[in-house]
Amino acid sequence: MPVNILLTFMIGSALAWLLIKITRTPKHLQGMVIGCCSAGNLGNLPLIIVPSVCEESNNPFGESTTCFSNAQAYASLSMATGAIFIWSYVYGIMRSYANNYREAGLTVNINSSQKNSNSESDLETCREPLLPSKDWVAASDEYSVQQQPHGNFETQEKSSTLRKRFQCITMTMKKINLKEVFAPSAIAGMVGFFIGTVSPIRQILIGADAPLRVIENSINLLGDPTVACMTLLVGANLLKGLTRSDIRPSIIIGIIAVRNVFMPLLGIGVVKAAQHLGLVGTDSLFQFVLMLQYALPPAMAVGTMTQLFQMGQSESSIIMLWTYVVAAFSLTLWSTIFMWLLF
């Protein structure tokens, strides 16, 4: 499943790049478009849809109790893995586009101000060195080679190279905001992976005979109403989409086509290919969840990121509004098609 989710992000990003080229999306909206096309709502929607299918008496996935338990496990794994990818992969892309747009705007402002000030341009000519920068560096390097022994020069050159690499790594780490990358949902996903993969901890916390099963029961009591609260928050955020915005209808139609047409079709091909290679087993419910991950509307976390970067907030609300309206019908259609293909 983590590989399948990563493929959804990569395929969505590639389709978003084509959409940006075709529609000539404005630069300040390009990161948001990539986020909407690549990141699906892998959280509350699978937690609602998949267990609800299992609760039906005539569901095609077998006995209701076993199906419901497996559905919750698959949906929870989808939510945890999706949160990690959204706040690392999508967040990095949207932050990069936002920073590039701001830097480009700052460069334009600086260039325009320099053109309007002739006195400052005259002073710049007086500040130029007698030798160009490349010639000065070459001359200094030749002088240092002549003054120092060959062995010492090689040692200093290696140490300077290592120092530069260390400085690059340090600067990169400073640019990464760990508080935003490791969001609470991503941290919860990592903790869940740790508990689920370490057998002694899992046996203590999870199960009817676990000594600390009260922790699991308490988390379940808190988690069940959380799904309903998340759905209410989604609806509240969609109301912002009724405000006016400058986003073109072609961009909205393109995102809807990517998320509701092209992604599900490609998802069927990916899952069927994995099944042919024996990578997904024979569990039809698991294959259904893998296909469903390609047909979900954009993640609401994309709207949160636009608010963090103060770029494209109203546009993201409009996109969320129309994609979720269409998803109400497309999810039903694609779920039926997925079940028909699996049985």
For 83-97, the pLDDT digits (tens) are 888 888 888 888 888
Confidence of residue 137 (pLDDT cuts 50, 70, 90): very low
C-alpha torsion sign, points 59, 44, 233, 307: negative
SS (H, E, C) 254-315: HHHHHHHHHHHHHHHHHHHHHHHCCCCCCCHHHHHHHHHCCCCCECCHHHHHHHHHCCCHHH
Q: CA-CA distances (angstroms) from residue 51 to 47, 61, 70, 72, 297?
A: 7, 11, 8, 6, 18
More confident residue, 206 or 179: 206
pLDDT, position 133: 47
Section 50-60 average pLDDT: 85
Q: Domain extents for the chain?
A: 2-103+227-342
Is residue 107 scored above 80 in pLDDT?
A: no
Confidence of residue 286 (pLDDT cuts 50, 70, 90): very high
pLDDT, position 221: 80
Query: In this predicted structure, which of 103-112, 114-123, 281-290 has the lowest mean pLDDT?
Result: 114-123
pTM for the model stands at 0.71
